[in-house]
Every structure is written in structure tokens, then in C-alpha cells.
């Protein structure tokens, strides 16, 4: 799946410019990717961290979302993932063709319509568990395919 849908950073550390209108908190945890695909006819989910360590994730989510979808997440506990962005959705590259606001709206729709937190919980940054620590903020512009900017909370 990495060959078809390579996972790359969506943010870089830099200075915020006037064009960066969207602000999103980035929580402490293990950043990575949630890969939703099929093994044969069975839908499967995998968490891949920055060191490319792959771990299967038990997840209750509509099977229609498992056609090669790649979500950018931060794992804040063993069974809780904060979803920030979508890179690929059902085999289509959303990162290069949609703005951050459009991609985040898709993430919200997926979680609201298709996800049940019975096994692993997927949540949005503003729904993170109590006690989650904000390590910094991400800022985005309204252009498709552009990287966001990350600023740490304390320097």
C-alpha cells in the first residue's frame, strides 16, 4: 500500500504567514497513519508510526471506507486515535486535489456517519480525551496540496 499511497508529512515546522487561516491543535502522542484496506475480501486497518512499525487495529467502521484510505492520525492511547487529515480516500488522492478544510470536512463526515468507538475510538482534535496535552498548533491555507505549518506550544 505504501507504493500506491505513500505517506508523507502534511505539516512542517515554519513561520505562520497571513495565508494560514485555519488553526488546529496538535496533541501529544504517536503520530502516524491509519491505513484502511482489504486483505482478500476482509477489510483491515493498520496503524503505521513514523518508524514504519505496522500494527493491526480492531476498528468498527463502515466497510465502504476500506478501499485504500489513508488517514493522518495521532495515537493518544492504545485504543484512541485523533484524526487530523485524509491523504487518500478510497484510492483517490485527496491531499493534492482538495484544501485542508475540504479534507477535514470529509474526516468529520466519515466519523459522524460510519464510525462506532466500540473497539478503537477515532475522534477529532476537539473531541480528544480529557487530559490530552497540546504540543503545538498546525496552520493551513486554503490551497490543495500545500503543507501546513507547525508551531510548538512552547519554545
8-32 pLDDT, tens digit each: 677 778 887 888 888 889 899 999 9
**Ordered DSSP codes for 5-50:** S----SEEE----TT--EEEEEESSEEEEEEEEEETTEEEEEEEET
Sequence-distant (6+) residues with CB within 8 A of 48 are: 7, 32, 33, 35, 54, 55
Tell me the pLDDT tens digit for each residue of 27-75: 999 999 999 999 999 999 999 998 889 999 999 999 999 988 999 999 9
Please state, in angstroms and rounded to a whole number, the distance separating the CA atoms of residues 151 and 62.
35
Which residues lie closer than 8 Å to 37 by C-beta, 6 or more apart?
1, 43, 44, 46, 66, 67, 68, 69
- Report CA-CA distances (Å) from 65 to 70, 87, 92, 153: 10, 13, 12, 34
pTM: 0.89
Q: Name all domains of the chain by residue range, CATH numbers in brackets.
A: 28-127 (3.30.470.30)
Task: Please report the pLDDT score of residue 18 as a whole number.
Answer: 84
Residue 4: per-residue pLDDT: 61
Predicted confidence (pLDDT) per residue in 80-139, tens digit: 999 999 999 998 999 999 999 999 999 999 999 999 989 999 999 999 888 888 999 999
Amino acid at each position: 500500500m505504501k507504493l500506491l499511497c505513500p505517506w508523507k508529512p502534511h505539516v512542517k515546522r515554519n513561520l505562520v504567514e497571513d495565508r494560514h487561516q485555519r488553526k488546529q491543535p496538535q496533541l501529544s502522542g504517536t503520530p502516524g497513519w491509519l491505513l484502511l484496506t482489504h486483505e482478500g475480501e476482509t477489510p483491515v486497518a493498520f496503524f503505521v508510526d513514523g518508524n514504519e512499525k505496522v500494527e493491526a487495529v480492531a476498528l468498527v467502521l463502515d466497510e465502504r471506507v476500506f478501499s485504500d484510505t489513508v488517514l493522518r492520525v495521532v495515537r493518544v492511547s492504545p485504543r484512541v486515535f485523533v484524526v487530523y487529515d485524509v491523504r487518500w480516500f478510497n484510492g483517490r488522492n485527496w491531499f493534492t486535489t482538495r484544501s485542508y478544510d475540504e479534507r477535514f470536512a470529509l474526516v468529520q463526515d466519515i466519523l459522524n456517519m460510519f464510525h462506532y468507538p466500540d473497539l478503537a475510538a477515532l475522534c477529532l482534535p476537539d473531541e480528544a480525551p480529557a487530559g490530552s496535552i497540546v504540543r503545538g498548533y498546525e496552520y493551513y491555507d486554503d490551497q490543495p496540496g500545500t503543507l501546513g505549518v507547525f508551531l510548538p506550544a512552547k519554545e
